[in-house]
A and B are shown apart, each in its own frame.
Chain A
């Protein structure tokens, strides 16, 4: 039997004051990031902000500076250029910004580049043009999805456990989502529709993890193995610790494979997932459980069901 951890007796609840400080910082960071997103100050993807993105594959290596000055001359100085190294791929992104003008500009930009760079032909791999109205709609849908899943999860967990379990698990989930938003914001990584998908997935994963811990807590309360609630939590987390680690490892392996081999379209998505798995595991131990202990008190009242 290979065992990563064996009969651990870590005092997880004793670490509460440190982990709460860390979590408070992470959530604050995420909160600022979220506010910045709403103020339009964060690096939002074209699909959420509206605008144009063009992906070109050149035959030969190209000069970013030359293309930047070409675009600037044509009045697109605000364009962001991105190069996929080694593949001669160029990503041009033009945000719609405050301009409510929904005119499509991909074709003129492509034609301009084709005419100005006759020595280096390219194929247009993808074009995406999104009017601001659509971007807003997609963003509203995403917010609604987050809200709906939070409500649905609280209801389900309130039914399977009790209301306080549901709320604690949901808080932990939002902790994770805020943390990832904060990290992406601090590092200026682009946040697009796939990022929001990743957030929801992280939410789902983090809940799974929390539910496993809660399940053991409920069982250990019933068995009255310990005298206080905090001790019960410590025992439960230690008991499921190896499962927590193994599962995180397998899911982590899968997302790392996605990150390394999935291509640049999925790169940020996989990055968010990989970070989310780490945070989700952390939060079920250090956020959901302590909140439950603080709220529920140390009395060992049975959990219904």
Chain B
């Protein structure tokens, strides 16, 4: 054991000073700003400060299918330009599609053309029958891999964009594994809105209404091949009842949301709530101009995530590159819609597979209860030790105070996250912290009973209990570390608090108490020990 008493006292004093410097900014706001900003702080877990934790599953298959269908549309357009008549277009498994051509050399020529035009597709000749031949196109594996990666990376980026505009302090948005995204929004108050904002695909499409198709037939399942049945949702402002109107629209989108430059919330003068004004970038404006010119007097449906918001008749060519989405929005709805349109759509739809939302009031309640339980628990343990071991118990209590101080400072230093189970971990660590001293004191008592001098008994007690203390700490530490490895969120907080508490206890229980006894023994050996 370390002999120099002054050395040990200095070490404890330095550690105490450092701990207080590190810890104060976490406990109170009344410290100078320069100090506060430089120090790491204990983070409060979502369960204590309130907030939203979301785990999203990215529908990558859907992203692959979407891309493949875009290729299919482009391929059909290319064929049309080259006067190759496409009889039918079909989706096939694993990100591919097939095109059917009439008999003749159409299919062979189409294969050659598509191969040249789309280097990222594998194009092969399918079955040749009497009534025609098919060309099969599939995305190359590298392309599919790129979509896979992009779906998650781009998804994270887009969600971050949306959250930044929504205004959340210190959000955490990270990819998890190959197809998951974890979103943590500490302190967010309007939780339902935040969740919807994150989870919305926000794919905006402009599609022509298929005037030729009958809605009645479509409802029975007879939808034309190049069209689809969608619904327009509208909410009656008086009764609040939602109605769904079916509508048949062309599958092909004339324009999508990725050409949007800005999206703003506006209020119309006649009442009727808020609407969102869009302006397109140059490319988008050009397309919009052409599309509106070609389709005057026809209805253009504005579709967001397969729901029609409005389907106005195009009165005249629109050249300014501006459009509006109306739909009796509340100001919040309109503002959120503008955010998602500005931030862009997710490359693939996501599904919320885990949602933990904690209201701020519950968080505060948990902190108060947890802290109260910790204080009462610590106080009872302190009183018990002082009652049972008298003076030695007070020495152990003194070590316990250092234990708690160093533990909290350690958590601040590592910017550890404090959760409700974490507070429980601290309470448990307090209970277990005195165990080392109990072990040592019981040993000292045994030595005193065997008629040793007080000084010799103390030394022997510490020596003999040393390995027992180490062994018992290591076993607890092993379980705590494993808990940390496999635990999630709050549980990790528990493991951190418990393992740090146990590790620090090894120092405080052995060094901080021994130095007191050594100091008292230094001038003249103690004759009696109150233990």
- Tell me the A residues contacting B by CB distance below 8 Å: 1-2, 55, 57, 102, 104, 106-107, 123-131, 133-134, 138, 141-142, 144-145, 148-149, 152-153, 156-157, 160, 193-194, 197, 200-201, 203-205, 207-209, 211-212, 215-216, 219, 239-240, 242-243, 246-247, 249-258, 260-263, 265-266, 269-270, 273
Which of B164-172, B423-431, B510-518 forms contacts with chain A?
A: B423-431
- Tell me the B residues contacting A by CB distance below 8 Å: 47, 55, 57, 191-192, 351-359, 361-362, 365-366, 369-370, 372-374, 376-378, 380-381, 384-385, 387-388, 390, 420-421, 423-424, 427-428, 430-432, 434-435, 438-439, 442, 445-446, 464, 467-468, 471-476, 478-480, 482-483, 485-488, 490-491, 494, 498, 531
Contact between chains at B431 and A262 (CB < 8 Å)? no
A-B contact pairs, 5 of them (CB 8 A): A130-B354, A141-B486, A201-B479, A205-B476, A265-B366
In the assembly, what is the distance between CA of A251 and CA of B380, in Å? 10
Evaluate whether A156 and B445 lie within 8 angstroms (CB atoms) in the complex, with A128-B357, A254-B427, A263-B365 already known: no
Instruction: Name the contact of A126 in the complex, choosing from B359, B373, B471 (C-beta under 8 A).
Output: B359
Instruction: Name the contact of B428 in the complex, choosing from A194, A251, A263, A265 (C-beta under 8 A).
Output: A251
Contact between chains at A57 and B361 (CB < 8 Å)? yes
| Closest chain B CB from A238 CB (angstroms) | 12
Q: In the complex, which residue of chain A has the Cβ closest to the Cβ of B426?
A: A254
Contact between chains at B381 and A253 (CB < 8 Å)? yes
Q: In the complex, which residue of chain A has the Cβ closest to the Cβ of B471?
A: A211
Contact between chains at A215 and B471 (CB < 8 Å)? yes
In the assembly, what is the distance between CA of A139 and CA of B430, in Å? 29
Contact between chains at B357 and A126 (CB < 8 Å)? yes
Q: Which residues of A contact B353 (CB under 8 A)?
A: 102, 130-131, 133-134
Instruction: Name the contact of A262 in the complex, choosing from B369, B464, B491 (C-beta under 8 A).
Output: B369
Q: In the complex, which residue of chain B has the Cβ closest to the Cβ of A196?
A: B491
In the assembly, what is the distance between CA of A127 and CA of B488, in Å? 17
| Closest chain B CB from A70 CB (angstroms) | 19
Contact between chains at A258 and B427 (CB < 8 Å)? yes
In the assembly, what is the distance between CA of A252 and CA of B380, in Å? 11
Q: Which residues of B contact A211 (CB under 8 A)?
A: 468, 471-472, 475
Q: Which residues of A contact B475 (CB under 8 A)?
A: 153, 156-157, 204, 207-208, 211
Main SS of the interface on chain A?
helix
Contact between chains at A265 and B482 (CB < 8 Å)? no
Contact between chains at B438 and A246 (CB < 8 Å)? yes
Q: Which residues of A contact B365 (CB under 8 A)?
A: 263
Contact between chains at B424 and A212 (CB < 8 Å)? no
Instruction: Name the contact of B351 in the complex, choosing from A102, A193, A204, A266 (C-beta under 8 A).
Output: A102
Instruction: Name the contact of B435 in the complex, choosing from A128, A156, A247 (C-beta under 8 A).
Output: A247
Q: Identify 19 new A-B residue pairs, CB closer than 8 A, beyond the known A200-B479, A200-B483, A253-B381.
A: A2-B387, A57-B362, A129-B354, A131-B57, A131-B353, A133-B57, A197-B491, A201-B479, A204-B476, A208-B435, A246-B442, A247-B435, A251-B435, A253-B384, A254-B428, A266-B420, A266-B421, A266-B424, A269-B424
In the assembly, what is the distance between CA of A31 and CA of B451, in Å? 50
Instruction: Name the contact of A1 in the complex, choosing from B361, B372, B445, B474 (C-beta under 8 A).
Output: B445
Evaluate whether A250 and B434 lie within 8 angstroms (CB atoms) in the complex, with A129-B352, A152-B482, A156-B475 already known: yes
In the assembly, what is the distance between CA of A82 and CA of B491, in Å? 24
Contact between chains at A243 and B442 (CB < 8 Å)? yes
In the assembly, what is the distance between CA of A70 and CA of B387, in Å? 56
Q: In the complex, which residue of chain B has the Cβ closest to the Cβ of A7?
A: B449
In the assembly, what is the distance between CA of A42 and CA of B531, in Å? 49
In the assembly, what is the distance between CA of A123 and CA of B159, in Å? 27
Contact between chains at B362 and A255 (CB < 8 Å)? no
In the assembly, what is the distance between CA of A84 and CA of B64, in Å? 48
Contact between chains at B438 and A254 (CB < 8 Å)? no
| Closest chain B CB from A223 CB (angstroms) | 12
In the assembly, what is the distance between CA of A149 and CA of B486, in Å? 11
Contact between chains at B531 and A156 (CB < 8 Å)? no
